[in-house]
Amino acid sequence: MSCTTILVGKAASNDRSTMIARTDDGHFDVKKLVVVEPEKQPKTYKSVLSHLEITLPENPLRYTACPSVDPKDGIWAATGINAAGVGMTATETITTNPRVLAADPLVEYKKPKSRREKEVPGGIGEEDMVVLVLPYIRSAREGVLRLAQLLERYGTYESNGIAFNDENEVWWLETIGGHHWMARRVPDEAVVVNPNQFGMDAFDLDDAFGEKKAHLCSADLREFIAENCLDLNRDGVFNPRNIFGSRRDMDHIYNTPRAWFMGRYLAPYSHSWDGPGAEYGPESDNLPWALVPDRLVAVEDVKYLLSSHYQGTPYNPYSNQDSGKRGMYRSIGINRTGVTALCQIRAGVPEAIRGVEWVCFGSTTFSAMLPVYANADKMPKYLSDVTLDVSTGNLYWASRLIGALADSNYAACIQQIERYQDAVMAKGRQILREYDAKIAAGDAPALIAEANEALAKMAGERSTDTLNKLLLEVSQHMKNGFNRADN
């Protein structure tokens, strides 16, 4: 599933929180935000797509999830924060190359061709990972280690990147072929930007096979690289992207431009991004995976980037100036996003409210991002009670409707969209501040539920108001409009 990921270390954020965020870009997947209580977590898990059956550990933690409303293809939990204050987002579909796939093939489901044959289960994939990992971990590092065990035992049928965060650390794991993997702790002062490509451009093998402070990998990774002649690097440099990643023409249209735009926003002064002498361009193969931003990063920055469509460049599909390059690159904010979630693990607040999940349904370009406390018994119905039929009674469908209306007449509607997005963000922050203070001195479970209901109610009111305004605006621009004065 094509997505875009941003990871923020605690020293790179404005409030010392860690953040992991990802757009879940399916095919208009209908999504909801729910809480999974321990008694609802299955004892045995069976994947719908790969038919793999796995016995799960005892004593799972409560966690949030953004599953698909229609379960026909599986749960696809996407992202969440558990009761221990650990966040996870899974997955960012990434690229690899034929050399890797030949050396360690993906583990694909094999359907029996006759009644005499038995089916062969496939490995684990995006459908499964959050359910298999998030309820059983108490730190970001533990998330990497549990997922690594599953990959080594069962394999995977796709190439993916997975992020974890806790109060102090952010970790990123990338799969390599069917069973191999590598993971790196995001430097505290850095921000990582990752489109649908193998991302890591540096890795300390000595640390991975030594103290394991910030690097982890498959136990046989060195041998795997050497025996299969995978290393394309020169002069002793170890760049994993050159070994396990891709370098295709399609990357220059679909992937690298997104990383370029995000880097350009985050570090406009430290590097040059535009013009013939630029250090990096939208089709550069050496775009940095992690960089130190020129200023500290807030939730609003992450939302802006995950909503972006090359504003201020010749590639903006909504530009009224046709440069001949308009719409030539894949935007980050895309029409078919199901949900975008930002898992924020905060510092300096009571443990009960450390995890805040910011959720945005539909196309991020037009939708608002709403915060909720993750450590809750349940989510408000406006976020969790989503049907497959279109409705204005929940945030998912309200967001989809807002996006469809605004896209059809961008110039006339964008001001209303910006007001809507800012209002939900500002009022959401205001409610969080109010309840942070109350919860520090009160009944946390009851107040968390009260706060989340207040947040959902506010989002519903703002969304309805915006729908009213957009519908009127778009109706006035319908092509079949006609006045007597037109004669």
Instruction: Give pLDDT, residue 445.
Output: 95
The pLDDT value given to residue 322: 83
pTM across the whole model: 0.97
For the chain, where do the domains classified as CATH 3.60.60.10 start and end?
A: 2-365
Query: Is 3 a known active-site residue?
Result: yes
Res 1: pLDDT = 62
Tens of each residue's pLDDT in the chain, 487 residues:
689 999 999 999 999 999 999 999 999 999 999 999 999 999 999 999 999 999 999 999 999 999 999 999 999 999 999 999 999 999 999 999 999 999 999 999 999 999 899 999 999 999 999 999 999 999 999 999 999 999 999 999 999 999 999 999 999 999 999 999 999 999 999 999 999 999 999 999 999 999 999 999 999 999 999 999 999 999 999 999 999 999 999 999 999 999 999 999 999 999 999 999 999 999 999 999 999 999 999 999 999 999 999 999 999 999 988 889 999 999 999 999 999 999 999 999 999 999 999 999 999 999 999 999 999 999 999 999 999 999 999 999 999 999 999 999 999 999 999 999 999 999 999 999 999 999 988 889 999 999 999 999 999 999 999 999 999 999 999 999 988 776 6
List 3, 66, 217, 413, catalytic entry: 3
Task: Supply the pLDDT for residue 84.
Answer: 98
From the number of C-beta atoms within 10 Å of its C-beta (0-12, 13-18, 19+), residue 153 rates as exposed
- Residue with the two structure tokens 């006035």: 476
- Second-level CATH architecture of 2-365: 4-Layer Sandwich (3.60)
